[in-house]
Amino acid sequence: MATWRDFLPIYRLEKRCFRSDAWPWIDVLAALIFPETVRYVAEVDEEIVGFIVGDRRRQKDLGWVATLAVAPAFRRRGIARCLLQECEAGLGTSRMRLSLRESNRGAYDLYLKAGYAEVDRWQRYYRNREDAIVMEKNRPTP
Ligand SMILES: CC(C)(COP(=O)(O)OP(=O)(O)OC[C@H]1O[C@@H](n2cnc3c(N)ncnc32)[C@H](O)[C@@H]1OP(=O)(O)O)[C@@H](O)C(=O)NCCC(=O)NCCS
């Protein structure tokens, strides 16, 4: 599980991968501290090349993928798929949700393959007024 000690490389990776959509530093730090979040990193040669943050709405038995990013040089190796599985297992909720830009076809395919389906749209959600697609997955829990 990532901690506040991983803040700097995660913050840099978030900025690099999301540019104008990147979280402000305070949100990244909060995600690494809050007890209701799970956060995992992928490391290659001790360098953080990917990370995921998930949070939990306990009363609704619902988990959200809050952010997921992999460094460009390490993409298409299954790192995001692996981080997503860890996040789902770490949250342990029977439902998972996430949102993404409708133009983000790569991420859409990743989630589709992982068993997510489109359930909602948030009109003009992003800064440039692009819609968000909301995807959901039901997970069998013991
Ligand atoms: C989206 C992102 C996290 C994917 O990371 P990744 O480690 O390359 O993904 P994986 O290698 O685990 O991909 C698993 C599957 O997802 C799909 N996929 C992932 N990236 C894709 C792309 N760019 N185009 C098409 N399909 C893609 C493929 O089906 C892939 O399987 P395959 O390589 O066997 O064909 C990464 O591109 C990224 O960080 N993008 C910028 C940030 C972002 O958009 N995050 C998600 C926001 S919701």
Which stretches of the chain are assigned E, i.e. beta strand? 37-44, 47-57, 62-70, 95-101, 117-122, 132-138
Look at residue 82 and tell me whether its pLDDT is greater than 90.
yes
Give long-range contacts, CB 8 A cutoff, 24+ apart: 40-46: 40/1, 40/2, 40/83, 40/86, 40/87, 40/90, 41/2, 41/6, 41/10, 42/70, 42/74, 42/79, 42/82, 42/83, 44/74
Q: Which CATH number do you get for residue 39?
A: 3.40.630.30
Joined together, the tokens standing for residue 15 give: 């900025």
**Total tally of structural domains belonging to the chain:** 1
The pLDDT mean for the chain works out to 96
Instruction: Give the pLDDT band of residue 109 (cuts 50, 70, 90).
Output: very high
Pairing relationship of beta strands 95-101 and 62-70 according to DSSP bridges = parallel
Paired strand residues for 6: none
Instruction: Give the pLDDT band of residue 140 (cuts 50, 70, 90).
Output: confident
Q: Which residue in 141, 139, 89 sits closest to 117, CA to CA?
A: 139
Could you tell me if the CB of 70 is within 6 A of ligand 1? yes
Paired strand residues for 69: 51
Instruction: Give the pLDDT band of residue 127 (cuts 50, 70, 90).
Output: confident
Could you tell me if the CB of 77 is within 6 A of ligand 1? yes
Nearest CA owner, ligand 1 atom 25: 106
Write out the residue range of the structural domain in which residue 82 sits: 4-138
Look at residue 142 and tell me whether its pLDDT is greater than 80.
no
The mean-pLDDT minimum among 38-42, 54-58, 97-101, 114-118 falls in 54-58
Give long-range contacts, CB 8 A cutoff, 24+ apart: 114-123: 114/81, 114/84, 114/85
Nearest CA owner, ligand 1 atom 4: 80
